[in-house]
Structure 1
Amino acid sequence: MNLLDMVREAGIVGAGGAGFPTHAKLASKAEYILLNGAECEPLLRVDQQLMELFADEIINGFTAAGKFVGANKAIIGIKGKHKKVISILRDRIEALQVADFVQVKEIPDIYPAGDEQVLVHELTGRVVPEAGIPIQVGCVVLNSETALNIYYASIQKPVTQKYITVAGDVPRSLTVKVPVGTPIIDVLKLSGIENFDNYKVIDGGPMMGPVMNSLDGYVTKKNKGFVILKKDHYLIRKKSVSLEQAKRVNKSACAQCRMCTDLCPRYLLGHEMQPHKIMRALNYKLTDIENQKIAQLCCQCNLCELFSCPAGLHPKSANLYFKDKLAQQNIRYKPNKSEFTARKSREYRLIPSKRLIARLGLNNFDKPAPMTEIELKPELVYISTNQHVGVPAVPIVSVGDHVEIGQQIGKIPEGSLGASVHASISGKVVEIENDFIGIRRG
């Protein structure tokens, strides 16, 4: 098998975002391969620690992927503040004798440095077209944990574990490795909190992660972290506002100051994403479809809603409203040009992470979440067959079967975009329904 086949068989998906199947990325030819080590979401600490603890494996996986896609250069993007990690990576690149191909490039401590399109610009100077993807400017982008999983795939080890940061208003912030399919509540309790009646949990980072309605879920390959905050925290209250509430507030108070647009990362890259125009269209019930279409350029970084707006309004919610409305009508934005240049004002409008953390009311919780050796051994795991972009995996086991850890239990449907799934514990298959495969240990 070549590397692409190994990655496909291992069930590797983007480890820090939507879960796009990695084998589909490696099927392209690119000039650059980029490693996204920015981890720009406040409080999350997975990638920076993986790059320190597994530098050789990540470099080897990243190098192999870069060679496979035919890249001329492989660039690791990491914030300049991570001096120790940068030193380790550069030393190991030299020791592994790949310095002619792989380099480390320091990026500023800004949000959202980890946005794929922002990262491409910071590392290559290129701008991904509107509604486009990095391969359109010759780039393939991988997450640090994804590169680690590519290395493991090369030695026939599929994805069965996930690294997760647990942080926030908790006695103990930490980063742990747990089996895919572990009950989320078991992971949350590692924080030292047993009773969550007075808390809410954000699934992912404080900026883009949604507030969880229930804690009854199970860990997937996409989970990156859980941020635990008191129910009355500003961030929880802000994220809990419904779309209808947001629309009412927007209409009553938007002064069209355009701060949401002036600080929008995609607007600053030269795109036509202008949240203030979307607010105008929503508040005044404007019917011009062309002006509504730009909502589809929103990357949902949430800067407009959680940082930029001086009145604390909800521009991102307005974007999502029109995104959904246009999707229902099968209307898509079409760029009117193919090449873009970042706006000259961009360098003066980048948002420092420390300032963002202060605005979110997270200063007291911005502390290390050290990698901790805790062996969670859930008696029952529920592995989603739909934890990735594309169609669900097709179960290839039956209730009553005994499976071993690492055994493939769901495969990609023929001719479809998807990802295979594997048993994360050894035991008996006890349930196959509702896009889940349940395995009981033993």
Structure 2
Amino acid sequence: MTDNFNLLTDDQLDAISSGKLWTFHGGIHPPGNKLQSNQETISDAGIPATLVIPVEYKGQIPDLLVKVGDLVLKGQALSKVSKTLVAKHASSSGTVIAIEKRCDLHPSGLSVLSVVIQTDGLDRSIEYIKPEDYKTQSPVELVEKIQQAGILGLGGAGFPSHLKLSSQNDIKLLLINGAECEPYITADDRLMQEQAFEILEGINVLEHILKPQLTVIAVEDNKPEAIKSLQEALSHNAHKDKIILRIIPTVYPSGSEKQLIEIITGQQTPYGKHPNALGIVMQNVGTVFAIKQAIIDAKPLTSRIVTLTGDSLKQCSNVSVRIGTPIQYLLDRYWVDSMALHEIIIGGPMMGYTIKNTAAPVTKTCNCILAPTIQEMPPAQPEMPCIRCSECAEACPANLLPQQLLWYSKSQDHDKLEAYNLQACIECGACAYVCPSHIPLVEYYRVSKAEIYTAKTEAKKAEIARIRHEKRALRLEQAKLERQAKHKEATEKRKAQLKDKNGGDDLIAIALARAKAKKSANQQTTEPAEESKPASKNSAVAYAIARAKAKKQAQQQNTETADTQNTNNSSETESATSDPKKAAGCGDYCSR
């Protein structure tokens, strides 16, 4: 449920309808560099030999519906949905040749579980059965279909669309983001120029789901052709009375969620809250187009519009790229000059990130591949000490204090960083853009955010381990008490049973008393016999020694007696042998 205290009021909605615009703190005006890519119509990027479709999302791995060796068709689901995960689909026909970890399109360059498809070049598709009219379906059914179609926020954040649309209570304003404020990127601009009617159909679907009181399409004034196409489509729309096209000034970062809300409504999104706290749901125009294709055409999200630009490319344009297409395939297809290429940036120059591994695939959040030359985007100048000019604070659209955040980031003072609302930083890069000392402020903030997240995660794990240990100790103690109580109860029960069987007598008590009496009697009998024994410990020892001596003496006497007898026998024998006469006489006598 939303907080009614923060919801937009009817007076505020009336002010929005009247055409009033507000502004936000800070902002900058970097060169747009949009003419390089927005002059050509959207073309198809073709089918690569191999598609690498990531199925792992923020560490979560869904249940897969395919295995190695399976034949797949375009639009076929590769994974199941869960509470937060959307389905992943094959973006062309072919054979699954591997399910393994591959490099992801992410600043970290880490690998994620991916389904690798060797395409057959035929681009065969599943049969798209046109669904029944969405107006006859409930919002819950439509939100489930959006999740099954695999739709994420295509503006760059990648937030699952079905989660945004699940909060269907107290929605006052549906805000469609067509600002596209980042330099170089023109994917949404060309989409609005060419698919304005389809975008309006997608808006109608969202209005049926959310039932907002007002819908506003916000477009920057540097997109005249897109504005013209939307105005024409709006004039033919049945709900044009509830949909307003609002043209806003070109200032960076007006396309950021919180800043665009402030421009349109004059309200700031509470820190730590989502826009639905104000009764607002925001969707990117690319996401709206994908929702139209899912609900009206029954097509899942298998491709997206990507801006290919930069002076190292011979052909800059917007192309429809299949999800899972390797970056290197696009660079080769659109003739990148590898000798002039300085770096590869995913996204724009302000909020984008560089990659080294061009085998990484295009994902649903990839809206631009920027391939500049070193002259177009020279290396960053060496960082110098902060001169405390406060230019960064004046440019910050989140109304933060970047200078103080820099100090606390360097000193790793996490408590101070949280006190100064580091998490409210949208990492737009405006502070670093205006810094005369060329300090990469956003890089410091990103590192600090990661450190704080890691520290909190470890602390949470430690707390969970402590609680588990305490609960286990409590369970063991409780089990011990229960065993003791059970044994006591069993003992009492046996005693009661024995008493009942023996006329109320306790046989165990009688037996114990009898044994005790017998023992006492035995002790009294043996006491006189034991009077001759030593009474004390010392006398007992002396007695034992004397007894041992007597025994030893007796043994010696027996030994001496035996030796005397043996000596006498030996003497007699020797005397008889030594007397020859006796021996001879005996011989003579015997011979006679």
What TM-score does the superposition give when structure 2 sets the normalisation length?
Answer: 0.51
2:147 is equivalent to residue 8 of structure 1: yes
Moved more, 165-174 or 314-323: 314-323
Quick one: which amino acid aligns to residue 362 of structure 2? V
2:415 is equivalent to residue 289 of structure 1: yes
How far did residue 125 of structure 1 move? 1.7
Higher relative contact order (CA 8 A, sep 6+): 1
How far did residue 14 of structure 1 move? 0.6
Quick one: which amino acid aligns to residue 213 of structure 1? K
Question: Per-residue displacement from partner, 1:329-368 (whole Å, max 9, x unpaired)?
Answer: 219xxxxxxxxxxxxxxxxxxxxxxxxxxxxxxxxxxxxx
1:188 to 325, 328, 331: 331
- Structure 2 equivalent of residue 168 of structure 1: 310
- Structure 2 equivalent of residue 47 of structure 1: 188
- Structure 2 equivalent of residue 20 of structure 1: 159
Q: Contact 1:77–1:105 (CA<8 Å) still a contact in 2?
A: yes
Quick one: which amino acid aligns to residue 260 of structure 1? C
Q: Provide the rounded CA distance (Å) in 1 between the counterparts of 2:201 and 2:267.
A: 26
Q: 5+ unaligned residues in a row in structure 2: which ranges?
A: 1-136, 458-592
Quick one: which amino acid aligns to residue 10 of structure 1? A
- Structure 1 equivalent of residue 426 of structure 2: 299
Moved more, 164-173 or 316-325: 316-325
Q: Contact 1:14–1:22 (CA<8 Å) still a contact in 2?
A: yes
What TM-score does the superposition give when structure 1 sets the normalisation length?
Answer: 0.67
- Structure 2 equivalent of residue 354 of structure 1: none
Q: 5+ unaligned residues in a row in structure 1: which ranges?
A: 268-272, 332-442
- Structure 2 equivalent of residue 66 of structure 1: 207
Higher helix share: 2
- Structure 2 equivalent of residue 324 of structure 1: 450
Question: Per-residue displacement from partner, 1:274-310 (whole Å, max 9, x unpaired)?
Answer: 1111122245x374713444221110101111x2211
Q: Contact 2:409–2:417 (CA<8 Å) still a contact in 1?
A: no
- Structure 2 equivalent of residue 394 of structure 1: none
DSSP 3-state at the match of 1:84: helix
- Higher Rg of the two aligned structures: 2
2:357 is equivalent to residue 214 of structure 1: yes
DSSP 3-state at the match of 2:379: helix
Q: Contact 2:176–2:285 (CA<8 Å) still a contact in 1?
A: yes
Quick one: which amino acid aligns to residue 142 of structure 2? L
Aligned length: 313
Higher strand share: 1
Moved more, 39-48 or 190-199: 190-199
How far did residue 205 of structure 1 move? 1.0
Alignment of 1:409-424 (within 5 A): none
Q: Contact 2:314–2:337 (CA<8 Å) still a contact in 1?
A: no
Alignment of 1:43-442 (within 5 A): 43-154=184-295, 155-169=297-311, 170-193=313-336, 195=338, 198-230=341-373, 232-233=374-375, 235=377, 237-238=379-380, 249=383, 253-267=385-399, 273-283=400-410, 285=411, 287=413, 289-293=415-419, 294-305=421-432, 307-330=433-456
How far did residue 321 of structure 1 move? 2.5
DSSP 3-state at the match of 1:36: strand
How far did residue 110 of structure 1 move? 0.8
DSSP 3-state at the match of 1:110: coil
Q: Contact 2:412–2:448 (CA<8 Å) still a contact in 1?
A: no
Q: Provide the rounded CA distance (Å) in 2 between the counterparts of 1:213 and 1:197.
A: 16
Q: Provide the rounded CA distance (Å) in 2 between the counterparts of 1:82 and 1:223.
A: 21
Q: Provide the rounded CA distance (Å) in 1 between the counterparts of 2:274 and 2:415.
A: 24
DSSP 3-state at the match of 2:353: coil
Q: Provide the rounded CA distance (Å) in 1 between the counterparts of 2:442 and 2:278.
A: 27
Q: Provide the rounded CA distance (Å) in 2 between the counterparts of 1:236 and 1:92.
A: 42
How far did residue 90 of structure 1 move? 1.7
Instruction: Calculate percent identity across the aligned residue pairs.
Output: 28
Moved more, 214-223 or 127-136: 127-136
DSSP 3-state at the match of 1:321: helix
Q: Provide the rounded CA distance (Å) in 1 between the counterparts of 2:288 and 2:412.
A: 46
Alpha-carbon distance change, 291 to 282 in structure 1, aligned in 2, over 3 angstroms = closer
How far did residue 89 of structure 1 move? 1.1
Q: Contact 1:31–1:72 (CA<8 Å) still a contact in 2?
A: yes
DSSP 3-state at the match of 1:142: strand
Q: Provide the rounded CA distance (Å) in 2 between the counterparts of 1:82 and 1:91.
A: 15
How far did residue 148 of structure 1 move? 0.3
C-alpha root-mean-square deviation of aligned residues, in Å?
A: 2.0
